[in-house]
Amino acid sequence: MPVSMPTTPSVAKLTLWAEFSDPALESRYRCTMLAHDACQMQYAALLAAALFLLFGFADHAISGSGSDLIWLLAMRATVIVTCIVLAIAVHRQPHWAHRQLPINLACLVALSGLLLTIPLRPNGFSTQLTSTVVASMALYLLVPNRLPWTLLWNAYLITGFTAAVLLWVPAPPGVMTANLLLIGVVNLIGGITQLRLNRLQRQQYLSLQEERDTNLRLQAEIDERRQLERRLRHSASTDPLTGLFNRRRFFELADHELRRAQRHTTPLALFMIDIDHFKLLNDCHGHRIGDQALIAVAASCQAALRDTDIIGRYGGEEFVVALPDATLDTALSIAERLRQQISDLSLETDSTPLRLSVTVGVSLLHDNETTLDGALQRADQALYIGKARGRDQVVVAPPSSLTAIKA
């Protein structure tokens, strides 16, 4: 039967921030990106900690050894510790990379620390401008934050930078305008870049999911076809009523055992089994009881035979069995066990329980025979001898025909 499975649309609507408008689809996408974003968040946090540490070595040369240096070092230490703690937390709990609180808290501490360098080191304006531009680009490219938050933090950075420069680093209007234009262009490029990355990543996700869904559907179709093929093979080789091999499949397997017996000079025995008085049973009790008798006899035969023996329905109420590596004594023992087991059966009818019995003809393959026809004919002759003698017995093919392969 067809297999149903959830599918991902090949085209999906995106919001203004280049995210999926479907919350469930966006959630699945973010789950697939969790490992990547967690790794990126760790790198961004460690990189920020390293940069604040490196710039700390220049603080003494620029600010001297006064109180400003202490405040600078305290600020840098706070930022470094915050970034390292965030990196460790994301490493241990990757889902923190998609939690807004820890990411935004780290952004607040890092950006505030960056802005504090302006009043504490007012003579390092060019370095502070460069740091602001780099921080703005890092927010877009390195921090796996959602675009609205990235825009908010860049607005905080630009506003804080502008206010700090106006208060502590007086600059000509032309220079200030040029700096603001530079920061604005950086934000424009960064915003467009993140929008484009968001869109491309989600399109790639849709393509991969569509390919996955196609592969799953193909695999489901292949599995369904294989199951159908197995059912067809089973139907083509099995008697639908008894579940035994049908006549064609039995002879295919028996011929294989015949060739093996010839190669290895091993014995091969054959049974012909007939349910006694089966026509009378059908006439008296109906075909439904007759079918039940066939099913019960087939099950008892399978239980009495060895795992290596091959049994099939020959036609009507007759069954045929091939017994590889079975000497005459072994075959007789198995046949008698089979006959006794069926004699113990009691088939329930509308009136009284019905006793069943079978007659079994046994023969061995001769050493000069290349087909099963001779052995099968002898087993059939033995079967008719048993039926003439009164049925419910095991009969061996006539002695004149038993020059068989020795075990």
- Residues annotated as catalytic are 317
With tokens 């061996």, the residue in question is: 396
Residue type, 88: I
Helices 23-32 and 34-63 meet at what angle, rounded to 10? Answer: 70
Count Cβ atoms below 10 Å from residue 317 Cβ, excluding itself: 20
Tallying the residues shown for the chain, one arrives at 407
Listed in sequence order, the residues at least 6 apart from 150 whose beta carbon sits closer than 8 Å to its beta carbon are 139, 140, 143, 190, 191, 194
DSSP structure string for 295-349: HHHHHHHHHHS-TT-EEEEEETTEEEEEEET--HHHHHHHHHHHHHHHHT-EE--
Residue type, 27: S
Q: Is the dihedral of CA 17, 20, 24, 27 positive or negative?
A: negative
Bridge partners, 404 (sequence order) = 366
